[in-house]
Structure 1
Amino acid sequence: MVADSKTRFNAVADDYAAARPDYPPALLRWFCDALRPGEGEIVVDVGSGTGIFSRQLSQALPAAIELIGVEPAAEMRAQAKQAILVGEKLDYREGTAERLPLPDGVACAVFAATAAHWFDRPAFFAEAARVLVPGGLIGIADYVRDETNPAVAAATAFLRRHGGPRVYERPDYAAELAQAPGFEGAEACREHAVFLLDPERYVRLVLSSSHAVPAIAALGADRAREILLGTATKLAQADGLIPYAYAFRGFRARRAA
């Protein structure tokens, strides 16, 4: 995992927890329908952040499954732990994608949701293969902003003007999984989704980006929010809400027997 990625989201953990989108139900079903769990098995969410994907998985999985989130950033992990509901078999542990805090062959699935672009992926694939049972599932989910959407275009313009430079590119996960040692049967899917945001959530969503950290430092949090709130007011529809569009992607493969 890139060293800076272990802590860079600590500064925006509150906005991340409040504003980042849920994953489309169809994408969750696509992953969960491919699982082959047995009673008492473990599912791992790597780079679990504030627990958005973990919580959705917890609701979608059989009750017997234990779900473990692995996250290096302390503030993100704290946000996730605060959201655990009574009775949920959900735990969050400190760790990285390249060194999972789990023994060999215990997991029926290992997921990474909008996190794998930060990983040393060959090391992550090797760790996923180590902790998975034979036939176990590796799944990668992410989303990209739909730049044809006016609200997305405005957010991107703000980040380009005031934020830091882009520090990653979206990998070709399908190709990487097809070539990863110990895995087979790589598949992919896509889902498009539009979220209706109130102005405050729009502001927090933009500021939850890792590229917004330099903008907050340069402008100050109050000024950054003021600029974005002005933009949000202009973008709002008659009902006061702002359509914000994403393209979600899913990738999966199996650990070879």
Structure 2
Amino acid sequence: MEGRDVRGHYEGLAAEYDEHWVYGPDYIPWMSSRITEALRLGPMDRIADIGSGTGLFAREVAKQLQPRHPILCVDPSAAMLGQLGTPPPSDLTPVVASAEDIAEGRTRLPYEQLDAMWLKESVHHVADQASTLRGLAERLAPGGRLLVVMLPATIQYPLFEAALARFEELQPDPAVIEGHLRAAGLKAGLAHAEHELRIDRDKYLGMVRARYMSLLSTFSDSEIEKGIEEMRIAHPEPVLVFPDRFAFVLGQRGGGSK
């Protein structure tokens, strides 16, 4: 998305990452169910969560799916993957690697081919999205599916104006990602899903101060504090209610039954 220290951002946030991302009790199950449905996952699938972070969604997918093969949690941050536990759950296998490492074959996975993989809000960290998605597509078995879950080009978060403007400047267009999957030889389509978030205002302000979105790491401490004050004035209500809308870009390799 931009040339900042993304890995350093997540290394520093690892210990408290789950606290910032669990908006409410139903968010993680909701998103995990949407991922499972979009990819048409089955218990026998060999699955990877690329950019898994602490495994929030992989853990819930595994709970819902009961996979026969452990889900691979792939992330370049060892600190984030360390939050899986020591040892990690038997249905999750951590792999310290970036999406580029997997796409370019620098890191070998436990499975020769994958039946399904997803990237949840991580594709914007990839410098060469077309090349990386093509490399990931090549790791799919016949009939394999690759899902990119991402925010749309504009969002309705109650952030300060400078953050919203920078988001729009930097966020990839889901239609472009769909084109990359088609160029990689996959049958691709684009859909959307929306979830209403209700979150205590002070908690959300704390999340912004902690830079829960990597976008916020591009702002200085003083800029963050100024932005938080702007948010306080714009949103005096004690509970913030806003839509979390996602683009689901799905590609499928030919030759399979699904």
TM range (shorter): 0.7 to 0.9
Q: Residues 33-182 of structure 1 correspond to what in structure 2 (within 5 A)? A: 34-35=40-41, 38=44, 41-79=45-83, 81-82=84-85, 87-100=89-102, 101=107, 102=109, 105-119=112-126, 120-144=128-152, 147=155, 149=156, 152-153=157-158, 155-157=159-161, 159=163, 167-172=170-175, 173-181=177-185
Residue 133 of structure 1 deviates from its aligned partner by 1.3
Residue 99 of structure 1 deviates from its aligned partner by 1.7
Identity of aligned residues (%): 18
Aligned-partner Cα distance in 1 for 2:36–2:164 = 35
Q: Which residue of 2 aligns with 1:203?
A: 205
Give the number of aligned pairs.
Answer: 239
- Structure 1 residues not aligned, in runs of 5+: none
Q: Greater CA deviation, 45-54 or 201-210?
A: 201-210
Q: Which residue of 1 aligns with 2:34?
A: 27
CA RMSD of aligned residues (A): 3.5
Specify the code of the residue in structure 2 equivalent to 1:235: H
Specify the code of the residue in structure 1 equivalent to 2:34: L
- Structure 2 residues not aligned, in runs of 5+: none
**TM-score with structure 2 length normalisation?**
0.75
Aligned-partner Cα distance in 1 for 2:189–2:152 = 19
Q: Which residue of 1 aligns with 2:241?
A: 243
Residue 54 of structure 1 deviates from its aligned partner by 1.7
The 1:45–1:86 alpha-carbon spacing in structure 2 relative to 1, beyond 3 Å, is closer
**Match status 1:255 vs 2:256:** no
Aligned-partner Cα distance in 1 for 2:178–2:153 = 19
Residue 134 of structure 1 deviates from its aligned partner by 1.0
Specify the code of the residue in structure 1 equivalent to 2:8: T
**TM-score with structure 1 length normalisation?**
0.75
Aligned-partner Cα distance in 2 for 1:232–1:145 = 25
Q: Secondary structure at the match of 1:189?
A: strand
- Contact 1:174–1:251 (Cα < 8 Å) also in 2: yes
Q: Residues 218-233 of structure 1 correspond to what in structure 2 (within 5 A)? A: 218-219=221-222, 224=225, 228=228, 231-232=231-232
Aligned-partner Cα distance in 2 for 1:195–1:85 = 33
Aligned-partner Cα distance in 1 for 2:57–2:197 = 17
- Contact 1:46–1:70 (Cα < 8 Å) also in 2: yes
Q: Secondary structure at the match of 1:49?
A: coil
Q: Secondary structure at the match of 1:9?
A: helix
